[in-house]
């Protein structure tokens, strides 16, 4: 019995010592046990930019073509947006007797196609294959169209392709065949139309278009001094509205460059200078390089003119567009601004290195309200900041995926 009591006493003493040791541990380490873990930010690659949305008017180096017989209606020799060489035919006006001649040509085309189809003649030609592919592509593109003007444009294209195919197949037929005779007659009728119609030629090389809105002789590209906010507002154009095809006029324009003029009053616009290079984001999200080539000061606004050399042909349908100006864009190591501290005009981040905090000087390249793009100083730059060679040798660098302290 006494032995059991002794063992109980020893257990109580041991338990008491153990409890006291635990209490001492809690007291001496309470700050570590209950201390809130330090928040950290993981360094990552990223980008920052400063952007704003603007409305702009497209200005081209363009020449309008109009003849004396414009009331007769016109025949597009080139497709809208097709490249044209100087002195090449762009379009022509109908002759007075053209309607009856065209009806004869249409009947000949139909007869030629019917004979070739029934005879099973196989006239291989890369031109025919190309035309058939163009017809198929145009037909496929019409399924999702609900814009009447576009549907009519594609219909006219298909009719032109079919007519051209009939002409080529007739020419490839044997010289003594009936198809060849019909083709020769067709060619004579076309010459008759050509001789009796007024033809318009390209005065310069460039791109042909039939989208004429009357601003070609107002929004000129040779000198921008005429531009002002009042003039631009007076056009009353809707953003993104498609310029309709004209049935009386055409034009040829420089397809290598064009300009976008905007009236703007943002802080960045007020600081911009001629020669500055920026990036523009168009409605299709495509980003293109641009240069500021003209600035005019107004009471509260500024007129800026951007010169672009990309996507010129893609803008052929529009005169007024919405776009985004990307004033600057930087990529690199991206960190939160809450990681930054400053001391003696030097910016630092702090890195927890297994028990002690190391301050690392860093260079801020660009910054917005939330984040910064940073990079490490070079050894030469650190020497200029007053660091010794020994300090530089021991100094750590900020790297990708480093965990730095958030304040």
* 172 and 285 share one domain: no
* Residue 254 to residue 177: CA distance in whole angstroms: 46
Number of domains in the chain: 3
**Is 305 within a domain?**
yes
* 150 and 265 share one domain: no
Q: pLDDT at position 155, please?
A: 52
Other Cβ atoms within 10 Å of 339 Cβ, number: 24
Q: Which domain holds residue 16?
A: 2-33
* Residue 381 to residue 329: CA distance in whole angstroms: 24
* Residue 307 to residue 291: CA distance in whole angstroms: 5
* 53 and 101 share one domain: no
Q: pLDDT at position 84, please?
A: 95
Neighbouring-strand partners of residue 394? none
**Is 406 within a domain?**
yes
305 contacts: CB under 8 Å, gap ≥ 6: 59, 224, 227, 259, 260, 261, 262, 292, 293, 294, 295
Looking at 196, 229, 262, the residue that finishes a domain is: 196
Q: Give the pTM.
A: 0.66
Q: Give CA 236 to chain center in angstroms.
A: 25
* 355 and 339 share one domain: yes
Q: pLDDT at position 287, please?
A: 92
* 148 and 277 share one domain: no
Report the residue count for the chain.
407
* 50 and 132 share one domain: no
* Residue 246 to residue 109: CA distance in whole angstroms: 27
**Is 78 within a domain?**
no
* Burial degree of 31 (CB within 10 A; 0-12, 13-18, 19+): exposed
Instruction: Report how far apart, in Å, the C-alpha atoms of 212 and of each of 14, 234, 240, 296 are.
Output: 101, 18, 15, 27
The dihedral sign for the CA sequence 53, 56, 60, 64: positive
Instruction: Report how far apart, in Å, the C-alpha atoms of 88 and of each of 78, 95, 204, 208, 248 are.
Output: 10, 20, 9, 10, 18
Give the side-chain half-sphere CA count within 13 A for 77: 22
Q: Give the CA diameter of the chain.
A: 139
Instruction: Report how far apart, in Å, the C-alpha atoms of 66 and of each of 58, 80, 93, 243, 249 are.
Output: 22, 16, 10, 17, 5
The helix/strand/coil state of 280 is strand
**Is 317 within a domain?**
yes
CATH label of the domain that carries residue 45: 2.40.30.170
* 272 and 371 share one domain: yes
CB of 326 within 8 A of CB of 279? yes
* 372 and 298 share one domain: yes
* 269 and 367 share one domain: yes
* 227 and 190 share one domain: no
**Is 86 within a domain?**
no
Instruction: Report how far apart, in Å, the C-alpha atoms of 197 and of each of 72, 78, 91, 164, 403 are.
Output: 10, 16, 10, 20, 78
Q: pLDDT at position 160, please?
A: 61
pLDDT truncated to tens, each residue of the chain (407 aa)?
544 455 556 556 555 666 666 665 554 444 333 334 458 899 999 999 999 999 999 999 999 999 998 888 888 989 999 999 999 999 988 887 777 877 887 888 788 777 766 665 555 555 556 656 665 676 666 555 554 445 555 555 555 655 555 655 555 555 456 777 777 887 887 777 777 778 999 999 999 999 999 999 999 999 999 999 999 999 999 999 999 999 999 999 999 999 999 999 999 999 999 999 999 999 877 899 999 999 999 988 999 999 999 999 999 999 999 999 999 999 999 999 999 999 888 999 998 777 678 899 999 999 988 999 999 999 999 999 898 998 888 888 999 998 899 98
* 17 and 165 share one domain: no
**Is 322 within a domain?**
yes
**Is 148 within a domain?**
yes
* 161 and 238 share one domain: no
**Is 72 within a domain?**
no
Q: pLDDT at position 167, please?
A: 58
């Amino acid at each position: 019995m006494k032995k059991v009591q002794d063992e109980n006493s020893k257990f109580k003493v041991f338990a008491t010592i153990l409890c006291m040791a635990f209490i001492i541990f809690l007291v001496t380490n309470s700050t570590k046990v209950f201390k809130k873990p330090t928040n950290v930010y993981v360094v990552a690659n990223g980008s920052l930019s400063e952007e704003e949305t603007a409305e702009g008017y497209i200005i081209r180096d363009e020449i309008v073509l109009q003849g004396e017989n414009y009331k007769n209606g016109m025949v597009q020799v080139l497709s809208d947006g097709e490249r044209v060489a100087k002195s090449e035919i762009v379009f022509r006006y109908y002759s007075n007797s053209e309607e009856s001649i065209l009806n004869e040509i249409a009947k000949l085309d139909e007869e030629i196609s019917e004979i070739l189809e029934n005879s099973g003649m196989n006239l291989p030609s890369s031109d025919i294959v190309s035309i058939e592919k163009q017809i198929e592509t145009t037909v496929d593109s019409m399924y999702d169209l609900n814009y009447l003007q576009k549907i009519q444009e594609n219909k006219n294209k298909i009719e032109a392709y079919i007519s051209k195919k009939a002409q080529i197949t007739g020419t490839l037929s044997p010289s003594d065949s009936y198809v060849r005779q019909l083709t020769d007659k067709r060619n004579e009728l076309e010459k008759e139309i050509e001789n009796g119609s007024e033809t318009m030629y390209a005065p310069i090389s460039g791109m042909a278009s039939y989208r004429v809105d009357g601003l070609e002789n107002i929004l000129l590209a040779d000198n921008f001094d005429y531009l002002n906010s009042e003039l631009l507002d007076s056009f009353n154009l809707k953003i993104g509205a498609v310029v309709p095809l004209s049935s009386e006029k055409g034009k040829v324009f420089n397809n290598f460059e064009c300009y976008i003029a905007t009236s703007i009053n943002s802080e960045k616009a007020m600081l911009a200078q001629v020669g500055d290079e920026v990036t523009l984001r168009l409605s299709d999200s495509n980003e293109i390089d641009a240069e500021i080539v003209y600035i005019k000061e107004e009471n509260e606004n500024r007129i800026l003119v951007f010169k672009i050399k990309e996507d010129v042909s893609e803008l052929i349908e529009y005169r007024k567009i919405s776009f985004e100006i990307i004033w600057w864009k930087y990529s690199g190591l991206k960190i939160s601004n809450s990681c930054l501290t400053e001391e003696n005009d030097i910016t630092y981040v702090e890195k927890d290195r297994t028990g002690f905090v190391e301050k690392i000087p860093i260079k801020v390249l660009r910054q917005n309200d939330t984040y910064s793009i940073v990079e490490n100083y070079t050894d030469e730059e650190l020497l200029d900041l007053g660091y010794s060679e020994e300090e530089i040798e021991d100094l750590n660098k900020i790297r990708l995926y480093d965990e730095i302290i958030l304040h």
